[in-house]
Structure 1
Amino acid sequence: MEEKIFAGIDLAWTSNNETGICMINEHGEILFSHSEVYSNAEICKVFLDSDITCGKNVYIGIDAPLIFPEDVKEYRTAERELKRADINGFHLSSFQVSKEYMLKTYRESRGEDISRYLAENKKYNYTDKLFTHSHEVVETFPTGITAGIFPEIFPAGYKLKGKKADSIKGYDILYKKIKVFEEKKIINGFTENFKLPEDDMKRKEYKSFEDRIDAFLCAFALFLVHKNLASELYFGNKEKGLIFLPLK
């Protein structure tokens, strides 16, 4: 039986900004965690031609819209369904977009382009039921993941929206929650790869760190479902846009 790899991509919506990528194997070992400015081709190469993924069954969670309605002006219903849903007592807002908006604002639809290329070149499948194919790609997002897995600390507050010191304090809370999985030997390498930032870390450095955290959460969500430590929630559909979230 081929080994499984669970990957997360915190995809920058423009290729000028940094993207975070994380990969975890089925034993919970963090194999890769990095953030840099990647081209679409470079991201695809990681999942089509790298030592980590070759010969493995690979499941990717991407924080970016992957599927749009045929009508480029039509907004997706996945975000509306998500907002109406109760996720551990929370109603989440996810930015609702159309294909037209993506092209006008960012001149590309990176998540859609990357996932389509992966589907065409390695038979990656869009799925509304994880682990039914050898290679799968799903759309997800870290804010929803934290609500589904860690509702007791939601929204965690690690995102760099205000003072950096407040973000570091928020990450400290999230860090302690995830560290428990390492102490229980469910995952390995978390504290090594995601140790608490120093107070003097620059904002740009913390933003890069945040991208890696988000990529980890996208991969971790898939890993937890594989380990039967979380169930699957889906919003929307595979034809017009689908969002996956884990629920503990």
Structure 2
Amino acid sequence: MLTKGLWHRDFSDCWVSECPDASLVGKNFRQLGQARGLDAVDAYFELACQYREALKWTTCYGNQREAIMRQLLASPWTHPGFADSGAHLRSIAQYNFPLRFLKYVRDAELAGEPFMPLGQAVRRCSAELADFIGVDAGYLRVGDRADLVLINPQGLDDSLDALHEAPMEVLGLQRVVKRNDAAVELTLINGRIAYRRGLEYPQDLGTARHYGRFLPGREVLPRTSPAHDLQPATAS
């Protein structure tokens, strides 16, 4: 029996995006099962066995209720930014949560329906997270390490959600990734350029030690957020 968790496990809401048989693309597994006299789950297993890695499909298991999503993002009791993408090398690829978060905030502003100032959104995925997990990071202060990312707001568009593949050298396989070329202009770690659009990465990145250092955890201070639960998303 398929139990429900984060993913709904409803194969009628899973749509084929790539397949050697182009006639299957754009159809869900319930439709494909009906054409074969099969249940949606059986249709999935039959096609997965037939096409194996060449069969790719997509579904939506979150963020489809935009008003609720905005309410959660604005709540002081939620933290945007966590992903377990490292456990899903061939699926999901939720590596760019902070950029997607900034896109949601900016899209709302452009639509005349702001639910959070953009500056607050930047803080939510930087200083607020650092304070929560207890590491000395997330702030711009005189004398601190120059760790920062330069983002072009014009690049916070639908390209953030496009899927790509890249080789993973150690394991010798292709992994699903997200490209953010239009959004990220520059990344500095400890004042050193770790990425610059057009020039990509320096050769010693990942081998030289001067890019960063271990950040030890420290005592987490109590939060000073308002003593209330989720609040309706409102213009600000």
Q: Please classify the TM superposition score into its range, dividing by the shorter chain length.
A: under 0.3
Computing the radius of gyration over CA atoms, which structure comes out larger, 1 or 2? 2
Q: TM-score, normalised by structure 2?
A: 0.23
Q: TM-score, normalised by structure 1?
A: 0.22
